[in-house]
Structure 1
Amino acid sequence: MSVPTPVRIGLVSVSDRASQGIYEDRGLPTLQTWLDEALTTPWQALNRLIPDEQLLIETTLIELCDREDCALILTTGGTGPALRDVTPDATRNVAHRVLDGFGEQMRAVSLHYVPTAILSRQIGATRGRTLILNLPGQPRAIKQTLDGIFAAVPYCIDLIGGPRLETRSEVIAAFRPKK
């Protein structure tokens, strides 16, 4: 009996200061922990810690989609209105399709916690068979956002031809329409 190939998931933390070692990145560990708790499907993280440089973000996303064959990429950071916040811009530039519902829902979830959620430019998009989601940068906001949107992620990945992701229903129940 063969061991299933782990689903590849790209985790990208976008931060000038963390990438320079000025402070410890907390985005990647938060994403890793949340996915470890939520997924029952074997998976492998491909971690990247990069500065807020649009071309580098674009190159990283293309690498993780096209060469590393990630089914899902979660980015954290760089989604606000500041001049250096360019993660959504980079994502749009490499995307084949933008899925507006993800961005709308991420902001709706965040508005339950902070009024500044309206400043967020988070988006969801696809590139080939990869789903890319731009999450906020703070660990608590990452968890809140994933709790609010991830139920739709496995079915989205099904629809774009990616591998099947299964979740622990007590953490997050994946929604798939009944046939």
Structure 2
Amino acid sequence: MQHPSPARIGILTVSDRASRGEYEDRGGPAIREWLDRALASSWTPVSRIVPDETDLVAGALRDLADGEGCCLVVTTGGTGPAPRDVTPEATESVCEKLMPGFGE
């Protein structure tokens, strides 16, 4: 009997400083550790770190979903509630269906 391939799950950290190597990404590894504990099935992490720039965030999300074949992409980081934070808009720009309240 052939076993299915493990699910591929994207973990995207959005951080200007972590993407430049000035700050250690702790959010991405924390998500990976949580998923290791929470998921019963085998899975393969596909991680990315990008700065908080609309085109880079949207491109990384597209690459994880379409290029890498991730069935789920979890994001962490972003500048926070400030004009500089473009992560929500970048995420919306690549979504086919929005589910308000689901991510919270």
**Do these two structures clear the TM 0.5 threshold for a shared fold by scoring above it?**
yes
Taking the aligned partners of 1:13 and 1:84, their CA distance within structure 2 comes to: 16
Alpha carbons 2:52, 2:79 under 8 Å: kept: no
Taking the aligned partners of 1:6 and 1:49, their CA distance within structure 2 comes to: 22
Structure 2: state its 5+ residue gaps: none
RCO greater where, 1 or 2, for CA within 8 Å and sep 6 or more?
2
The structure number with the bigger radius of gyration is 1
In the other structure, the counterpart of 1:67 is 67
Q: How far 1:71 moved relative to its partner?
A: 0.7
Alpha carbons 2:8, 2:45 under 8 Å: kept: yes
Letter in 2 for 1:95: C
In the other structure, the counterpart of 1:151 is none
Structure 1: state its 5+ residue gaps: 107-179
Query: Are residues 1:91 and 2:78 paired?
Result: no
Q: Which runs of 4+ in 1 moved over 6 A?
A: none
Taking the aligned partners of 1:9 and 1:79, their CA distance within structure 2 comes to: 23
Q: Deviations over 1:60-82 (max 9, x none)?
A: 11111112111100000116221
Secondary structure of the residue that 1:80 maps to in structure 2?
A: coil
Alpha carbons 2:19, 2:50 under 8 Å: kept: yes
Aligned-pair RMSD on alpha carbons? 1.3
In the other structure, the counterpart of 1:6 is 6
Taking the aligned partners of 1:33 and 1:84, their CA distance within structure 2 comes to: 29
Secondary structure of the residue that 1:98 maps to in structure 2?
A: coil
**How do 1:10-159 residues align onto structure 2 when only pairs under 5 Å count?**
10-78=10-78, 80-103=80-103, 106=104
Alpha carbons 1:4, 1:42 under 8 Å: kept: no
Secondary structure of the residue that 2:102 maps to in structure 1?
A: helix
Q: Deviations over 1:70-125 (max 9, x none)?
A: 1100000116221221111001111111101314xx2xxxxxxxxxxxxxxxxxxx
TM-score in terms of structure 2 length:
0.93
Taking the aligned partners of 1:42 and 1:10, their CA distance within structure 2 comes to: 14
- Identity, in percent, stands at 53
Count of residues in Structure 1 that have an aligned counterpart in Structure 2: 104
TM-score in terms of structure 1 length:
0.55
Letter in 2 for 1:69: G
